[in-house]
Amino acid sequence: MSTVTLRELVASKAGAHACAHPTRTVCGALIGPSSADASTSARDVVDCAPMFHGDVTTTPYFEIALEQIETWASREGRTIVGAYYANARDGDETPPACVAGTLDTLSARLRRAFGKENIDAFGMLIDATSLERVATAKDGETCAFRVVERDAEGEWTPSERARATIETGRESAVRARVRRTLDDESTEPLDVCDFDDHFDDLSKDWRNPSFASSSA
């Protein structure tokens, strides 16, 4: 079984995004290095960009967001390698149509970039209910993330061949960051912004620099 290791920044930012909108569908982009080593780069997630909460099928806005994220990532020597999502309905594992389409497009792009036909983008399903429960517990399994891959029929589904883990030693830090997002009375609140927020108020930064600079 292969493993996708999520950096603290990725797990906390994507997890906080899902927990901030527990009754809405959320999605975002997974960022990895623009590396010539396709065997590892498509599985190395170093950052993420929250995109939408709610109606994630509005194609023009989705494409605008992807373009801005790709421009930002490329300046840092990075690229979009996948997408994460959390569904509004408990037990619903199916990626929104725009997320599935994005994974198809990213897979084709990665194959061209690395010159290999056996490379795919991948998705990450977040169980927001589980993550919220873990975030407020004193201990427990932090990783409420499941790797999503293309199955034999070409559909994007949670994988039995790969698992997601938080980088070693950073599980408690992820829990602490997510708690700061959930706790309205926190003395150090940590808000997460996505493109829905940004389009409503351009002063809200979808890159969420506060996550990169904050400490748990």
Concatenate the DSSP letters of all residues of 71-86 into one string: HHHHHTTEEEEEEEEE
pLDDT at 65 over 70: yes
Our CA angle for 93, 94, 98, nearest 5°, is: 135
| Lowest mean pLDDT, pick from 28-32, 66-70, 94-98 | 94-98
Interval 134-188: pLDDT, tens: 555 544 444 588 899 888 888 898 888 888 877 777 877 887 787 777 766 666 6
Q: Residues 18, 181: contact at Cβ < 8 Å? A: no
Per DSSP (E only), the strands in the chain are 2-6, 26-33, 47-53, 78-86, 122-126, 145-150, 156-158, 162-166
Domain count, the chain: 1
Six-digit token pair at 69? Answer: 């994220």
The amino acid sitting at 173 is: A
Query: What whole-number distance in Å separates Cα of residue 174 and Cα of residue 143?
Result: 9
Q: Give Cβ neighbours of residue 160 (< 8 Å, ≥ 6 apart).
A: none
State pTM to two decimals.
0.85
**pLDDT grade, residue 215 (50/70/90)?**
low
DSSP code, position 95: P
Establish how many alpha carbons lie within 13 A of residue 155's alpha carbon, considering only the half-sphere containing its beta carbon: 7
DSSP code, position 161: S
Tell me the mean pLDDT in the region 70-96.
88
Backbone torsions φ then ψ of 66, nearest 5 degrees: -60, -40
Predicted pLDDT at 139: 45
**CATH number, domain with residue 99:** 3.40.140.10
Beta bridge mates, 150: 156
What does pLDDT average to over the chain? 80
Predicted pLDDT at 140: 44
Query: What whole-number distance in Å separates Cα of residue 177 and Cα of residue 191?
Result: 10
Q: Bigger pLDDT: 108 or 110?
A: 108
Residue 202: domain span = 2-213
Six-digit token pair at 120? Answer: 């795919």
**pLDDT grade, residue 125 (50/70/90)?**
very high
Our CA angle for 153, 100, 125, nearest 5°, is: 95
Q: Give Cβ neighbours of residue 86 (< 8 Å, ≥ 6 apart).
A: 17, 18, 25, 26, 27, 125, 126, 127, 128
DSSP code, position 45: B
